[in-house]
Structure 1
């Protein structure tokens, strides 16, 4: 019996809703606030405009949209009168308020609010150079991990190239059967290590090919060291200028950066009524400095100018971060809250709107609208930090120069060996290919290795 009465009551409420919706257009108030409602010529567009259109399709009502006259969300003054959109609802000037209206206990006493269509919280934004976390200096920090891997590969390839040039070039190793090969693999790596520390490590190459490779590696080493020490210098200087602020407590415990929120908005009231000591200090600072702003746009502008942190609701702050790449939002979010649609007390619209909002959430439509209007314009995060670790693409020209030098050195060594093979082929009346193959076998085969071992044993004796 009780279930039947509930069903009858619901059907009656739905009937009243349909009759009311058909009888007149709903008067809906909203406020200009990116990206919820923005001007597009003579019309409005944004998240709340799209949400209202979807609700209209689901419930079949017509509406007339207008902007709130005093450009306020709604707060009660000392005499008990409401302003803003909440005031228009209370006075009967509008049937609904579709905007990022925070669901609060005070508002719920004077208007009915639907199921929330968005969850958010309170955070703050500031310039990235003010939010950088300070870290202890590391000798590896001037270069990125990819850069160090590139340097290691360049080191190994250059050492191997010096070794090959020393073996191939006849000027460097004229008689593999009798002479000692100076540029062993170990000595080749020791030789280029000496160049990295700007110290000599003889013997030095005698052939043109070996000197080309050595000169290119020396140039690479000098420019690499210049980049390394230059980046160390910029990191030390930039770290001295940074003020690391990532939480509300760190914000409250410093006096270098000013901070504020929108005057008379729900965020300000939260800090005013909070019993948290950190939140109380933040409110007292804003009252003492009168660091309030008139709207979100002014807060974002002051943040971009620097030395200011704007405190607001995370959903609005995320939009600023998506549009302005030099701004970042704090990871800490406090006072979780929700945005709802407001209606007059006892309005039959609230139940149906709440059901429709839940249906849009379950179908993924609300997520789609969030992704649509909060799309980031930062294709890539180009940070303004001068202390950013150097990446391989920053010095790709240097790596290309080294690769070109190694290739030229190997080519010259092969040309030297080929010239010698041609002369020997003419003198011995043999084919050039057979003489070249024989020379390569002597230099890289067992014969070359045994002569090198014999030579090393003689040198030890």
Structure 2
């Protein structure tokens, strides 16, 4: 029922360090962000409340999250990039894109990518966040954004995680990743604070790095598409 890069990784780790697990979906389908009342949504919220011992997904390690959960060693490094329609684009780079009023840039609400674009503007003055707000191009799901990109004739771009984008472009040959990475982030498993579970996961991750197993799994999911 469940598959994916992180599922394959934790399945291998379970054999290496010796534990059994059962996977269930997070009710709201989110990775997890902090609400104004200091509660958390998504996988992070499930782990905090004891509904799960481990959050199995490409979770970014942040200082805010580290206050409420433990993290394993990073599984992979990723970043934020734009997903666009192939083959011809009416712009040469992101700054050129923002000078063309007919082009929209979509951002999925309550995701790291939304925070990343907002934070990038506050740190560097790069105006993509203002551009997205002016266009009011916020979305409720990546599926909605991918559809917009595919039907856009080059006039819609979606902010995505690089690893998600690599998976999408391997399956959908009419879209591509565009431009440089906005940032570099470490992705890992999250565990109930003080449980010691992430220490065991980290042992497995380090072993898999040494043998090249993580790279093999990464290539299986992100470099073996039909495109």
Matched, 1:269 2:99: no
Matched, 1:376 2:219: no
Matched, 1:285 2:131: yes
Aligned equivalent of 1:343: 191
Determine helix, strand or coil for the equivalent of 1:64: coil
Q: How far off its partner does 1:109 sit?
A: 1.3
Aligned equivalent of 1:159: none
Q: How far off its partner does 1:285 sit?
A: 2.3
Matches within 5 A, 1:115-194: 115-131=73-89
Q: Distance in 1 between matches of 2:96 and 2:143?
A: 24
User: Could you tell me whether the CA contact under 8 Å between 1:123 and 1:312 is conserved in 2?
Assistant: yes
Q: How far off its partner does 1:50 sit?
A: 1.2
What are the Cα deviations for residues 44-64 of structure 1, in whole angstroms up to 9, with x where unaligned? 122122112101101111111
Matches within 5 A, 1:297-312: 297-306=143-152, 307-312=155-160
Matched, 1:76 2:31: no
User: Could you tell me whether the CA contact under 8 Å between 2:17 and 2:203 is conserved in 1?
Assistant: no
Aligned residue pairs total: 222
Q: How far off its partner does 1:289 sit?
A: 2.5
Q: How far off its partner does 1:111 sit?
A: 0.7
Aligned equivalent of 2:49: 91
Q: Distance in 1 between matches of 2:37 and 2:208?
A: 39
Matched, 1:251 2:100: no
Structure 1 gap segments, 5+ residues each: 1-42, 132-242, 379-461
**Rg larger for:** 1
Q: Distance in 2 between matches of 1:295 and 1:67?
A: 16
Q: Distance in 2 between matches of 1:348 and 1:338?
A: 20
Q: Distance in 2 between matches of 1:119 and 1:84?
A: 21
Determine helix, strand or coil for the equivalent of 1:297: helix
Higher relative contact order (CA 8 A, sep 6+): 2
Determine which of 46, 53, 59 is the counterpart of 1:101.
59
Query: So what's the TM-score if we normalise by structure 2?
Result: 0.92
Aligned equivalent of 2:142: 296
Query: So what's the TM-score if we normalise by structure 1?
Result: 0.47
Determine which of 192, 202, 209 is the counterpart of 1:354.
202
Q: Distance in 2 between matches of 1:127 and 1:74?
A: 29
Q: Which has the higher strand share?
A: 2
What are the Cα deviations for residues 360-389 of structure 1, in whole angstroms up to 9, with x where unaligned? 1111111111111121202xxxxxxxxxxx
What are the Cα deviations for residues 282-306 of structure 1, in whole angstroms up to 9, with x where unaligned? 1122223321222222221111111
Q: How far off its partner does 1:130 sit?
A: 4.0
Q: Distance in 1 between matches of 2:201 and 2:57?
A: 14
Q: Which has the higher helix share?
A: 1
Aligned equivalent of 1:333: 181
**Over the residues paired in the alignment, what is the CA RMSD in angstroms?**
1.4
Q: Distance in 1 between matches of 2:198 and 2:168?
A: 31
Matched, 1:46 2:12: no
Q: Distance in 1 between matches of 2:159 and 2:96?
A: 14
Aligned equivalent of 2:18: 60
Structure 2 gap segments, 5+ residues each: none
